[in-house]
Structure 1
Amino acid sequence: MAALRTTAENELVGRAAELDRLLGVARAAAAGSAGVALVGGDAGIGKTRLVTELARRAADEGFTVLVGQCAELGDAVPYLPLADALRGADPELIARWPILRRLLPGTPPPLPKDDHGGLTQQRLFGSTLAMLAELSARQPVLLVFEDLHWADRSSRDLLVFLTRMLQTERVCLVGTYRTDDLHRRHPLRPLLAELRRLPAVTPVELRPLTSDELAGHLAALGTDADAIGTIVRRAEGNPFYAEELLATYGEGLPESLAELLLARAERLSEPAQAVLRAASVAGRHAGHEILARVCELDERDFDDAMREIVSQGLMLRAGQGYAFRHALLQEAVYTDLLPGERTRLHTRFAALLADAAAAGLREDDGTYAELAHHALASHDLPRALAASAEAGRRAIRLGAPAEARRHFEAALSLWDRVPDPERLAGDDHAGLALRSAVAAADSGDNHRAIAQLRRLPPTPEVNERLAYYLYETDAVADSARAGAAAVAAAPEGPQLARALATYARTLMWTPEQREARGIAARALAVAEAHGALDAEVSALVVLAAAAEAEGDFDGAERLLERACARRSPDLSVNLRAIFSLARLRYERGELAAAAETTDEGIRLSHETGLRWSTYGTDLRFLRFLIHYVAGEWDLAQQVAAGFNIRVGTPAEATLSSFALFVEVARGLPVVEERLTWLRRFFDTPLVSYIARGLEAEHALWQGDPQAALAHVRAVVEILEPFDPALIRICATGLAALPPHGDPALADDLLARARYAATTGPDSGTRRPLLLEGMAWLRRAEAEWHRVHGTATSAMWREVLAAFDYGFAYEVARTRWRLVDALLTEGDRKSAEREWRQAMATAEALQAAPLRRALTTQAQHSRLTAPPAQTPLTQREREVLSLVAEGLTNREIAARLTIAQKTVSVHVSNILAKLGVSTRTQAAAHAPRHTRN
C-alpha cells in the first residue's frame, strides 16, 4: 500500500467538516455506490494532510488504499499518477492485466504489432476499470491522485473515464489540485467544471484556517505561546506557511514564502545545499542513484548530505529515492538557481539518463520523456530531438496518444535547427509528421489529424489515413476521393491492400455502393497474397455488407464467419467483424447463434480491456437486446445494471436508453428518473429513437395517447426519412390512435413507414428488410387497418407470425390486439386461447402494463374460461428435449433434419403452450413433457 506524505503528524485541525464529507463518499463507495471527490485549495493549505487522514481512516475501515502523485513532468510522462498508485497494488492482480504492467518498471510485455495509441489507450482504460472492479470485489478501494494541476492529458482523460464509468464498484476516487495554479487557460479548469456537474462528484474546497484553528494547530506542534500570535498574523490561514515560519522563528521573518523556504535551505551545509539544488532539477522526486551521480560526491559525503536534508524535514525518503516535503520548496529552490548552474545540472541529468537508456538500465517508458525535458532545458537540441521522437514512440506503446503527439511535435519543431535530423529521429520529416497526425486522431482529434495530413505530401499512406479519418467525420465524398488517390498510388503489397479496404469502406454507403464489392474483392485478394490480415478482415466485412445490401444474407453470414475466423493483429477490426456477424444473426432471428457470437465478442473485449471501446459497448447493447427479444428479462436487466442513469454525454445517454426497453415494459418506477436525465439528449437521433420512442410507449401504458403522439412526431422530425428506425416509431404512433381517429395522420405514418422500408439514402432502393423490420412493418399496417376499422384477425395473425421468430413480448402484445379482432368476429374460443397465451407470457416476463391491459380486456369482454394447457405434439416434445440439452435452433435443425425456421416455430409454440418466455424456463419443464 503506497503511503501519503504528511506535513505534520499532529491531530488534524480545522478540517472536520471536509473530512466528514470525504468519509461519507468513501463509506458510500464501500456500500456499493462509487464516488469521486475533488479536493482543491491553495498551495500549502493542507490538501495532502487531509487526504492522508482520509487514507488512514479508510485503511482502518478495511479499504485498500492506492496513492499516485502527478509531477511537474506530468505533461511529458503519461499516466504517472496511475503508475505511482499501481506500485501499491497486489502484484498478482496487476499481472493479470498486461497493459497495466507496462506502467511499472521493468521490461514491458509486448503488444500486438499493429496496436495503435488510441486502441491501446482504450485497452488501458478498460483494464484499469476492470482491475479496480476486481480489487473492490474483495474490499473497498480508495484511489488518490494528488496534484492534478500537473497531470498529463492522458491521466486527465483517465480521470474523466473513471468518474463516468465507476458506478456500483466499491471505489472512492479522490483527486487533489491547487486552485492558485489554475490560470484561465489551464487544461484542468474546464475538466473540473465538467466533472463538478456530475452527481457522483463531490467538490471539496479547502478554505484558509481561522486564526483560532491555526493557533490550535501551532499549539499542537508545541509552539511557544509568544510566537503563535506573530505567526498566525503572517501565515494568513495557511498551515504550511505557518509551519515554515515556526521553523525559522527567532531568525527574522522573511518577506515572502519563497524567501522563507530558501532561508531554511540556506541553513544547510554547503554540500547539502548542492544536493538540494540538484534534487530540485530532478523535480518533486529524485532517485537515489541518479541524484548521487549528478552531485558527483563520493558515497559517504552524499549520504551525509542527504541525512542532513532529511533530518531538517526538507526532503523525505520515498521508495528508492527522495521527495521534497512540499512542491513549493522544490519550486523555490529551482527558481533560485543561477542560469548557468541550472543548465549544467540539466546537462548532467540528460547525460546520465541517455547513458542509462543506451545501456538498457532503465526500461520504463517515461525515461525518454525525462531525457527530452532535461536535454531541451540544457539547450542540447540534437539530443532533445532524438529523445522526443523516441518518447513519442514510447507514448504510443503505452497508450498515451495525446502525449505522443506533443513529443512528435516537439521533435518536428527542432527539425531545421539540428544537423542530420533523420538519423536522430529514426524517421524522415514526413514519417514523423504522419505519426503525429495518427496520434492526434487516436487521442480523439480527427479534425486536427485531417488538417495535419492535408499539409503533408500526398503519399499512399497519408491518403489512406486521410480517407479513414474523413470517413469517421462523415465527410464521405472527400473520404472516397482520398481513398481513390491512395489506391492509385499504392505499391503492390500490404499498403495497397489497406488502401483498397479503406476505399471500399468509404464507398459502401454512397451512390457508388455497387463499386465497393469489386474493390473489396480486390482488397481481399491482395491482402491474402501478402499476408495483410487486418486488411483481409476489413475487406471481408465490407464484402459482407455489400452482400447484405443486395439481399444475400446467407452469403453475408458466410463472409463474416470467415472474417471472424481470420483474427488479425488489429483488435478493433476483429471486434468489428464479430459485432457485424452477431448483429446479422440477431436481425435474421437466429437468437441463440447471435447470443453465442455476442458472448464471444464480449469475452474478447473484456480480456483485452476493450469493454468500453466502441464495439465493446455495441456488443453489450446487442447482448441486452438479444436477452430482451428472447424474453430473458432478468438477464437483460443484469446487463443494464451497468447503464448509468445519471448520464452526462450522448454516448452515456445511448447506453442508458437501452435499459428502457425492459423498464418500460415492466412498468418500473425507475423509468421516470432515467427519462429525466435522458431528455436533454433528445436532439441526438439514436437517443431520440430509443428513449423518446420508449417514452411514447410509456405514455400509452399510462393512458396518455396524446403525449405518446407528441413524442412520435418529435422522433419522426429528427430521423432521416429513409431511416428504417422510423418503421417502429410509426407503428407506435399508429397504436396511439383510436379506431376511426385522425385517418390523415394514420395515412401519413404508414406512408413514412413504407418509405423507410423500401427506400435507401439518395432515394436508392433499400436492401430487403430482415425479420424484425418486416414484423414492425406488418404491425404498422395492421394498426393502420385498426384505425380505419378494417383490421381482421388474419392481419393480426400475419403480425404474430412475423414476430414469432422468438420475440416473446411482441408476440404477446400482438395476441392482445388479436383477441379484440377475434371477439369482433365472434370467435370467443380462439380469443380465449390467444388471451391465455398472452397472459402467460405477460406473467412470465413480469410485464405489468401488458398484464393490466389484458386483465382489463378480459373484464370488459368477459373472458372467463379457465386456463387450459394445450398438450405438446410429438415433434414439439422432440424439440423440447433438445432445447433442454442446450442445443441451438441450428443444431436442432441439423439433428432432426428439418429447416431452422421450422425449429423456430416449434420453439415459439412450446414457449406459448408451457406459458413460459425463455428456453431456460422451457428446459425446466422438459422432464415432465418428454417422457414416453
Structure 2
Amino acid sequence: MVSPVFVGRDDALAALAGAWQTAVGAPAVALVAGEAGIGKSRLVTEFEHALDLPVRMVRGACAEFGGEGLAYAPFVAVLRRLVREGAAAAGRYRELARWFPELGEVPEAQPGEQRPLSGKHRLYEEVLALVEEVAAARPVVVAVEDLHWADAASRELFAFLARNLTQPGVLLLATYRLGGAGAGQLGPLLSELARGPRTTTLRLPRLTEGHVGLQLAAILGTAPDAATVHRVHRRSDGNPLFVEALAHGDSHTPDSLRELLLRAPRALPSPARLLLSLVSAGGDFVTHRLLESVADESGPELDALLRPLVDQGLLVTADDGYGFRHALIRQAVYEDLLPGERIRLHTRYAEALRDSDAYAELAAHTYAAGDHERALAFAYRAAHRARRSYAYDEQRRMLERVLDLWDRVRDPSAALGTGPSGTGPFDIGPLDSGPRGADLVGVLTEAAEACMFSGDYRRGIDHATAGLAAVDERRAPERAALLLEHRGRLRHRLGGTGNADFDHALRLLPDDVGNVLRGRVLGVMAMGLLPDADAARWAFDEALRIGRHTGDATVTVRGLLGTGARDGDLGALAEARGLAERLDSHDLLLTVPMYEAMVHTRTGEHRRGVDAALDGLRRARRSGLGLSRGADLACYAAHGLILTGRWDEATALLDEALAEDPPPAARQHLRRLVGRLALCRGDVAAAATAASGPADALRSTGLLQHYQLVCLLAVAQGDPEEADRVLGRTLADPWFTRVPSSEARSVLVTGALVQEARLDADSNGPTAQQAEDRRTELALLDAGLPEYGRLDRARRSHLHALLRGGGWQQAVSAWRELGQPYHLAQCLLRAGRSALAAGDLTGGSAQFEEAAELADSLGAAPLSRRIALAAGQAPASHGAPPARPAEGADAPGTAHGTARLTAREHEVLLLIAEGLSNRQIAGRLHISPSTAGVHVSHILAKLGASTRTRAAAIAHRQGWTAAAPPE
C-alpha cells in the first residue's frame, strides 16, 4: 500500500527546487542518493508534479538485467521523448537512429549527400545538441533513475552531458543506490559531478518514528496507536518501502523482506498475478506494445488487469510502458517464479522480439528460455553492436556468453550464421582488426581484445591462452601470432612481460618487410621493452621500416612512437598522432598522449605533459577505455601534477582513478604516487599504507620508483639503515642499468638523501664510513650515466650538490627553470644554510623566506618544519642568537615583546611549528577549522610574522617550542 501523502521529504523537495532555480540560469546537476526502498523514485515523481509549466521532465531508467546493465538503456526513453519534443528538428538528428534503432529507421542518404563520420563523439554531440535545442524552446529536466545499474557507456554519456551542456533551463537529475551491486562503479562519475559548481547532492535519510507514524496514518486512513508505530518503525528501520510492506502486518508478519514484498502480489487475483509475473520477466521496464504482444490479454482486457497493479503501486506507468515501483519488488516476484514458468515467459518475450534488433535483450531472453542456439547468435550480434558503441565491457560479457554456450550447441559456427567468409544471416561486417571468423578461435581472439580495451587483463590472458590451445599454429600461423600478440600485450599491461609471446609470434611469421602482422608484433614488442631503449631500438626501427614499406598506418604509428620516445623527437610524435587520428583504433590513438607526456616530462615541459595526459584521459573515458589506457594516462597526469606543485588536483585525480579499480600495474603506480604525496605532506601512516603490499605488478621504472618510496618512508620512520638496505637492492636490480638516465639518476638522488640521514644519525661511528663509501658508489654510478634533457640535468645538479655539499645555487636555478616548486624549496633550504655558513645573513634569510612560501603553499609539512627550524637557528643580528626568555619574563610576543600569546595560542603555535594545516590543528585541538584560522591570524599579528613558517622560525629561535610559556 502506497502512502497517498509524501512524508518526511520537504527538505529534499526544497533542495531539488533550489537545483532547478540554479538550472534556470545555467545548466545544473542534481544527484539523489539513498538505499533501496528509501523513496528516490517517489521523490522524483513528486518533484515532477511540483514543477511549474512549461517545464517538462523526461525520464529514463537503468535496468538490472541478470546483473548486467544494457548499453545506453536509460537514454532510449529519454531520447524518444526528446525527439518528440523537438519533432521539427528531429530530421537533423537522424544519426541517432543508427545507435538507437528504437527511435526509428535511418533515412537514406540523398544523392550527392555526404554523411558525417560516425563515432562515439558523433553520438554524444547529437544527444547534446538535441537536449539543448529542446531546452531552448521549453525548459527540461532529464532524469536518469537507478544510475547504479548503468552500464559504462551510459555513465560516460551522462558525464559528457554534465560537462558540456551550456543551454540554460536544463537540469540533469540522477538517482542512485548507496551500496549493493553497481554502486562501486559510480565512484569516479560521482566524484567528478560533485565537484561541479552547479551540482546539488542529496542523500535521503531513513524516516524518523514520527514520520513513520504519518506514513502509516496516510496508508491506513486512521492514526495508528503508538505501539504500532514503534513496532513498524523498529522493524522497518525507517525505510518507506518496508513501512508499506509492514503497514497491515501483525506480530506474525514474516521477517524475510522477500516475503514482505510478495505479500501484495500473492494476494492478487490469478490473472493479475500472472500478468505481474510476466512483467517481472521483461525487466524493469516493458513497453505497452511489447507487453500486449506477450500477454494473453489485449486491449481493454489488458488495461483492466493493469489498472489494479498500478493503483496498488506495484507497477508505475512511465512514458509508453510499465515498470515496477521498486526493483526489490520486481526481483522478489521474478524469483518466486517456478523454473518452468520462467522458461515459458522468457520464450514469449523472445518470440515477440525475434524480428527486432534488440540483440542484448534477445540474448538474455533466449538464454533464460533455454534456447541456446539462438542465445549464442544474439549474444554475438550484441557483442559487435557493443563494440561499435565503444561499450567494451558489454562486448566482453556478450562474447563470454557466446563462449559459455559454445559447447551446448551442436554446430555453434552454423548457429552464428557466419563463417570465415563473413556470410550468413547474422553477418555484421568485417572486424576492425584480426582474422575474420566465427569459429572458437575467432571468438576467443575477439574476447581477448575486448578485455584489453575494458581493462580486464587477467581475463583477457585466459581467453588468449584458450585460443592458442584451440588453434593449430602450423596451419594458421598468423592467427596464432595475433593471439600471441594479444596475450603479450595483456601480460605487459598486467605488469609482467610479454616478450616470450612476442618472440614466439615472430618465429611464426616470415622475416619479410612486407608482412604487416610482423610489423605490428614488432611495434608492441618494442613498447613492452621500454624503458630499456637499447633493447627496444631495433624493434622500433624495424616496425617503422615495415610500416613505411607497406603503408600500414598502425605499424607506422608504433614505429614513430618509439622514435619519438627514444630521441625526444616531437615531430615524430606529431606525425604519429596525425596518422592515429585517421584510424579506427582508439587504443592506439590514446597511446600517443602517453608517449607525449613521457617525452615532455623528460625534457622538463611538465605542463605540456600534464595537458597531453589529461586530454588523453578525457578521450579515454569518452571512448570506453577509462580502465585500460585511461588508467595509464591518469598515472602520467598525476605525476606531472605533483611535479608542477598542483597537489590538490593530483590528489583528486588519484582518488578518482583508484576508485575505478584499475588494473594491478596502474593501481600500484597510482598508489605509489599517493604514497609519495603523503610523505611530502607528512602523513607517514598513509604513505606506509600506500607502500605496503606486493610490488609484483610493477616493472622497470615503476619498480624503481616503488623502491624509492620505500627508502624515503624508512627515513621518515627513523630507520635510515633499512633505507640503505633497500637502496642496495635497488642499485643491484637489473632494471637499474636499463632505464633512462633521468630515472636512474632519480634513484641516485634518493640514495644521497638516505646517506645524509645516516650521517645525521651517526656522524662519527662505523656507519659514517659506510655512508661515505655508498656516496662514492653513487658518484661513480652517476659518472657512467649520460644526460638526457632538462629534467635529468636538474637531477644531476641536485645529486652533485648533495654529494659535494655545495653548488646549491646551480640546483636552485635548474629547478626554478623547470617550475618544480617542491624540489626548488628543498634546494633553497640548503642554499640558505650555505649562505648563512658563508656569513651572508641577508641572502640566507631570503632563501629561507622563498622556500617557506613554496612549502607552505604546497602543504609540505615536513619541509616547512625543516625550513622553520633552519630559519630559527639563524642569527638574529651580528651572529649572536637572542637569549631565551627568563623565568617570569614576557611570554612570546612581537619582536619587541609587547604582546603576549594566550595559552591556547601557544598550543596553536606549537602545532604551526610542526607544520600542521588549520584543519589538522583543528582536529588535534578538537576545535573548528575556522577557529583554528582565527588563532593563527592572531599569532601572526602578535609575532609580526608574514607567514606561518616565519612564525614557526621565531618559535624555534626563541626556544618556545621546548616548553610552555611562563605564566
* Interval of TM-score (by shorter of Structure 1 and Structure 2): 0.5 to 0.7
Secondary structure at the aligned position of 1:73 is classed as coil
1:853-894: CA deviation from partner (whole Å, max 9, x where unpaired): 775576368599xxxxxxxxxxxxxxxxxxxxxxxxxxxxxx
| 1:577 matches 2:577 | no
Secondary structure at the aligned position of 2:2 is classed as coil
Partner of 1:859: 875
Superposition pairs for residues 39-438 of structure 1, below 5 Å? 39-40=34-35, 47-49=37-39, 52-53=42-43, 69=61, 71-78=63-70, 83=75, 106=103, 110-111=118-119, 128-129=158-159, 131-132=161-162, 143-146=174-177, 149=180, 151=181, 155-156=182-183, 158-162=185-189, 168-169=195-196, 217-223=215-221, 237-238=235-236, 243=244, 257=260, 260-266=263-269, 270=271, 275-295=275-295, 297-307=297-307, 309-327=309-327, 330=330, 334=334, 342-357=342-357, 367-425=358-416, 426=418, 427-438=438-449
Partner of 2:751: 730
Residues 573 and 592 of structure 2 are in contact (CA less than 8 Å); yes or no, is this contact kept in structure 1? yes
Output the amino acid matched with 1:567. Answer: A
Output the amino acid matched with 1:73. Answer: F
Residues 711 and 754 of structure 2 are in contact (CA less than 8 Å); yes or no, is this contact kept in structure 1? no
Secondary structure at the aligned position of 2:317 is classed as strand
Residues 692 and 711 of structure 1 are in contact (CA less than 8 Å); yes or no, is this contact kept in structure 2? no
Residues 63 and 70 of structure 2 are in contact (CA less than 8 Å); yes or no, is this contact kept in structure 1? no
Partner of 2:460: 449
CA distance 1:645–1:606, change in 2 (3 Å): closer
Partner of 2:768: 743
Offset at 1:55? 8.6
Secondary structure at the aligned position of 1:462 is classed as helix
Which shows bigger deviation, 296-305 or 383-392? 296-305
1:637-662: CA deviation from partner (whole Å, max 9, x where unpaired): 6666655599877555445456569x
Offset at 1:275? 4.2
Partner of 1:484: 503
- Of 589, 611, 614 in structure 2, the residue corresponding to residue 602 of structure 1 is 614
1:16-74: CA deviation from partner (whole Å, max 9, x where unpaired): 9x999x99xx99x99xxx99997546xxxxx2436745996899999999987554515
Offset at 1:371? 0.5
Offset at 1:532? 3.4
1:523-564: CA deviation from partner (whole Å, max 9, x where unpaired): 22323344433332222223444xx3xxxx46x455334434
CA distance 1:800–1:757, change in 2 (3 Å): same
CA distance 1:757–1:157, change in 2 (3 Å): farther
CA distance in 1, matches of 2:154, 2:40: 30
1:311-348: CA deviation from partner (whole Å, max 9, x where unpaired): 45442211220123445654565566676665444223
CA distance in 2, matches of 1:686, 1:509: 12
- Of 521, 529, 541 in structure 1, the residue corresponding to residue 541 of structure 2 is 521
CA distance in 2, matches of 1:615, 1:220: 55
Secondary structure at the aligned position of 2:401 is classed as helix
| 1:497 matches 2:505 | no
Residues 808 and 827 of structure 2 are in contact (CA less than 8 Å); yes or no, is this contact kept in structure 1? yes
Residues 395 and 404 of structure 1 are in contact (CA less than 8 Å); yes or no, is this contact kept in structure 2? yes
Secondary structure at the aligned position of 1:289 is classed as helix
- Of 485, 488, 492 in structure 2, the residue corresponding to residue 467 of structure 1 is 488
CA distance 1:582–1:69, change in 2 (3 Å): closer
CA distance 1:101–1:694, change in 2 (3 Å): farther
1:235-276: CA deviation from partner (whole Å, max 9, x where unpaired): 994565775687899xx9999657743454207xx5x56644
Residues 314 and 324 of structure 1 are in contact (CA less than 8 Å); yes or no, is this contact kept in structure 2? yes
CA distance in 2, matches of 1:135, 1:173: 18
Residues 560 and 581 of structure 1 are in contact (CA less than 8 Å); yes or no, is this contact kept in structure 2? yes
Offset at 1:422? 1.7
Partner of 1:536: 556
CA distance 1:577–1:101, change in 2 (3 Å): same
Output the amino acid matched with 1:12. Answer: V
| 1:616 matches 2:607 | no
Residues 714 and 722 of structure 2 are in contact (CA less than 8 Å); yes or no, is this contact kept in structure 1? yes
Output the amino acid matched with 1:682. Answer: A
Secondary structure at the aligned position of 2:7 is classed as coil
Offset at 1:681? 0.9
Output the amino acid matched with 1:743. Answer: A
Secondary structure at the aligned position of 2:644 is classed as helix
Partner of 1:563: 576
Secondary structure at the aligned position of 1:681 is classed as helix
CA distance in 2, matches of 1:99, 1:732: 59
CA distance 1:862–1:245, change in 2 (3 Å): closer
CA distance 1:834–1:533, change in 2 (3 Å): farther
Residues 68 and 144 of structure 1 are in contact (CA less than 8 Å); yes or no, is this contact kept in structure 2? no
Residues 72 and 154 of structure 2 are in contact (CA less than 8 Å); yes or no, is this contact kept in structure 1? no
Secondary structure at the aligned position of 1:143 is classed as strand
CA distance in 1, matches of 2:172, 2:714: 41
CA distance in 2, matches of 1:577, 1:807: 25
CA distance in 1, matches of 2:338, 2:803: 85
CA distance 1:696–1:588, change in 2 (3 Å): farther
1:657-707: CA deviation from partner (whole Å, max 9, x where unpaired): 56569xx5xxxxxx34x554333112366786676777799x7xxxxxx94
CA distance 1:461–1:79, change in 2 (3 Å): same
Secondary structure at the aligned position of 2:268 is classed as helix
CA distance in 2, matches of 1:372, 1:294: 17
Offset at 1:307? 3.8
Partner of 1:867: none
The unaligned stretches of length 5 or more in structure 1 are 1-5, 42-46, 177-203, 358-366, 629-634, 665-670, 700-705, 760-765, 865-932
Aligned residues: 739
Partner of 1:780: 799
Offset at 1:159? 2.0
Offset at 1:372? 1.1
CA distance in 2, matches of 1:418, 1:817: 74
Offset at 1:747? 1.6
Output the amino acid matched with 1:159. Answer: L
CA distance 1:725–1:226, change in 2 (3 Å): closer
Partner of 2:961: none
CA distance 1:861–1:808, change in 2 (3 Å): farther
| 1:682 matches 2:682 | no
Q: Which gives a bigger RCO, structure 1 or 2 (Cα 8 Å, sep 6+)?
A: 1
CA distance in 1, matches of 2:192, 2:506: 41
CA distance 1:247–1:562, change in 2 (3 Å): same
1:94-129: CA deviation from partner (whole Å, max 9, x where unpaired): x99x9999689648994379x9xxxx9988766655
Output the amino acid matched with 2:65. Answer: L
Residues 380 and 398 of structure 2 are in contact (CA less than 8 Å); yes or no, is this contact kept in structure 1? yes
Residues 216 and 223 of structure 2 are in contact (CA less than 8 Å); yes or no, is this contact kept in structure 1? no
CA distance 1:320–1:782, change in 2 (3 Å): same
CA distance in 2, matches of 1:797, 1:329: 72
CA distance in 2, matches of 1:128, 1:321: 23
Give the TM-score normalised by structure 2.
Answer: 0.62
Secondary structure at the aligned position of 1:418 is classed as coil
CA distance in 2, matches of 1:747, 1:350: 78
CA distance in 2, matches of 1:692, 1:167: 34
